[in-house]
A = this chain, B = another copy of it.
Amino acid sequence: MAQKVEPIDILVTLNQHYLKPVSVMLVSLFEHNPQQHFRIWLIHEEIPMADLQQLQALVNHYQQEFTAVKVDGEQWRQAPTEDRYPIEMYFRLLCGELLPQQLKRVLYLDPDILVLNSVVPLWQLDLGESTFAAATHTGMTNLVTDLNKLRLGTDHAYFNSGVMLIDLQRARQLVHFADIQDVIATKSEYLLLPDQDLLNYLYGREIKEIPEEIWNYDARKYAVYFTRSLGENDLHWIMSQTVFLHFCGQPKPWEARHDNRFTALYANYQQLTARLLARLS
C-alpha cells in the first residue's frame, strides 16, 4: 500500500433506505482514490447495528476508517420532521455540533453520487472567508437560479447541497438550530427542497462557488454541458476530469427505468459493491 497522506474526512447523513447507494458511492470513492486515507463519518438516528457493521466491513476492507455517530432523536423532536423535513437534513446543516470538536473540515456527499477522480483538490481548497464550498446547477441558462432567487429572496447563486465542503470551525459559529426552526416556522411554504433551500436562504452568502462540471455534475444534463462547452465536455473529458457525478432527480440510477449515458457506469459499481458485500458477509 502506498504512503498515506493526511486523513480526508467524509460526511454522510442518511437513513436505512440509502444504505445501498451510500455503499456504492463509497466503493467508487475508494477505487478512484486508492492512495488516500479516508475517515467516513455517518450521522444517523436509527440505522440498525447489523447494517452499520456491514458498512463498517466495507470501509475496513479498503483499510479506511468508519465512525457512526448515533444522534438521540429526542432532542430533535421539537423540530418539524414531516416527510419533507427528514431529520437527516438537520444533521447535515448542524454537523459542526455533532462531529468531534477536533475536526476542522469535512466533505459532505449525497449517497446518489459516483466518485470518478481524486477528491484532493477540493479537500485542499482555500475557502477564503467562506464557510462552505458548493456548486450551482445552472443548466443551460441561469433561469433556474433566477427563479430560486426570486422565490427565496436572495441575491446570490442557488447552490446544490449534494456536495459541500464545510469549514467546521466557522460552521460551529454560524449555523444555529434556532435559526433553522425559525425559517421553517415562518417560510415553510416557500421551501420546495427543504435542506437545499435552507442552506441557500440562511447561508448562501457564506458559500464559495466551485465549478459544477467538476464537483457536482448533474448526470441528467449531458447534452447541456456538452453544448455549453462547445463539445469539449464529452464522455472521455468527464471520466478524466469530473470528480462527483451526481444522479439528481428521478429515476434513480439503481432503478430499472434509468437509461442514459451513465447508467452502465453506475450499474457497474453497483455490481462491484454487491459482490464485495456478499464476500464480506
Contact = CB atoms under 8 A, between A and B. Distances in A.
Interface of A: 2, 31-32, 35, 116-117, 234-236, 238-240, 256, 258-265, 267-268, 270-272, 279
Nearest to A255: B236
A2 B267 CA distance: 24
B235 A264 contact: yes
A239 B272 CA distance: 10
Contact of A261 (B238, B240, B264, B271): B264
B265 A236 contact: no
Nearest to A260: B261
Copies per complex?
Answer: 2
Contacts of A259: 234-235, 261
A239 B271 contact: yes
Interface residues of A: mostly helix, strand, loop or mixed?
A: helix
Max chain B Cβ within 10 angstroms of own Cβ: one of A2, A117, A234, A235: A235
Contacts of A258: 235
Contacts of A267: 235-236, 238-240
Contacts of A238: 264, 267
Given A234-B256, A236-B256, A116 B2 contact: no
A117 B235 contact: no
Contact of A263 (B31, B235, B240, B256): B235
Given A2-B279, A234-B259, A268 B265 contact: yes
A272 B236 contact: no
Contacts of A271: 32, 116-117, 239-240
